[in-house]
Structure 1
């Protein structure tokens, strides 16, 4: 007579182990996992369930090693227009308002693009007014950046970049490598905008 197998599947025989994943500036999170859970899934769940401070977002940079080559390459190339303008003005020793505005216009297009990414993640979900409303806010912020006069437009662009970055990295919906890429690209672009803002004070205008 055959003996009934007491387990539903072989996977149920796997011994579940408790491991620790050290997170930067946080107490170690203990998680139980089996073969159906990956490290990224555990980290995603932890990040979803725990609030973050502003500086905690930089911990995602370590996941850049998992970023696919294509988005990483295009992202880094996208920094060229940001960096080229303040570098050119430094080399000439003259602040060029029209050239600075082209950097601002490029910044506005990138801010608007950030909202488009969030909109794309919502296409398979049911109607959620709050989430869809957020996804159009970057476009409105980008439009306002082009309307605000003088140096305040750069300040507004900086605030928009940082505000939307903080929201995106503290909310679910993006893979960890993408959050790391967002942190890297946003930080670099903000540094170039800040450099342009400083140059507007220290260099003579043409």
Structure 2
């Protein structure tokens, strides 16, 4: 019995032990004291085999320290978030056609910068081309959401948001007398379409999202360059040359 009591005292996680006898009375005694008085205790002489069970309780103070939350995994750079590493997986036709579509954007400000003049006809042609591209980007969402089994559902979010770029492109063409306002609208349309495709509706393949990011950056930068040329270089119209030829005849 003494060995059983010693084993139970050592197994409890506290410093106090409840001892209960047949008489129904219980007493809390430190287990170190119980071990010291076991051989000569008057209590155990009177009831040498009357101990039925030993209960332990915790007497340590509560720990109020909050556990530190696990540290989040290191986030990648913003450009890596657009899956730039998957650009090499782009299909060849999509890659070649996409970069060829940048020629009208880049050639207009490059030509005006070389000649150091501002051609309003060329700038309007660039803005009209950009408006058609913005409208095309909105139509891609319809074509991606309508087929059965597509990860994008034909719900209000997908279809309604795909109409927004087309409306922005239409409003941009209404500002044909103010090329600065029209250019700003097209740049906004390109940015909104990119935000929809990458953040709000991220269901496109990784290579397409990377390609979309590159094309949007180059196209928007070309439009901004044309808007800067408008306020920098003198204006010259292409129709002047035709009128001069007629007058010379």
Q: What TM-score, normalized to structure 2?
A: 0.59
- Give 1:46's aligned residue: none
Q: What are the equivalent positions in structure 2 for 1:49-68 lying under 5 Å apart? A: 55=78, 59-68=82-91
| 8 Å Cα contact 1:57-1:169 kept in structure 2 | no
Name the Cα RMSD after superposition. Answer: 1.9
Q: What are the equivalent positions in structure 2 for 1:166-185 lying under 5 Å apart? A: 166-170=195-199, 171-185=201-215
Superposed CA offset, 1:123-181 (max 9, x none): 13665223211111111111111112330111111111112101211223200000000
| 8 Å Cα contact 1:60-1:183 kept in structure 2 | no
Matched position secondary structure for 1:162: helix
Deviation at 1:58, TM superposition (A): 5.9
Larger Rg: 2
Cα distance in 2, alignment partners of residues 91 and 107 from structure 1? 22
In structure 2, stretches of 5+ residues that fail to align are 1-72, 237-249
| 1:91 correspondence with 2:121 | no
Q: How many residues are matched?
A: 157
More relative contact order in 1 or in 2 (CA 8 Å, sep 6+)?
Answer: 1
Cα distance in 2, alignment partners of residues 97 and 179 from structure 1? 33
Cα distance in 1, alignment partners of residues 223 and 229 from structure 2? 10
* Ranges of 4+ aligned residues in structure 1 off by more than 6 Å: none
- Give 1:147's aligned residue: 174
Matched position secondary structure for 2:76: coil
| 1:131 correspondence with 2:131 | no
Q: What TM-score, normalized to structure 1?
A: 0.71
- Give 2:128's aligned residue: 105
Distance 1:81 1:63, change over 3 A: same
In structure 1, stretches of 5+ residues that fail to align are 1-20, 26-54
- Give 2:232's aligned residue: 202
Matched position secondary structure for 2:179: coil
| 1:69 correspondence with 2:99 | no
Cα distance in 1, alignment partners of residues 74 and 158 from structure 2? 31
Deviation at 1:98, TM superposition (A): 1.0
Cα distance in 1, alignment partners of residues 90 and 127 from structure 2? 28
Cα distance in 1, alignment partners of residues 225 and 211 from structure 2? 21
1:119 to 119, 142, 148: 142
Distance 1:150 1:57, change over 3 A: farther
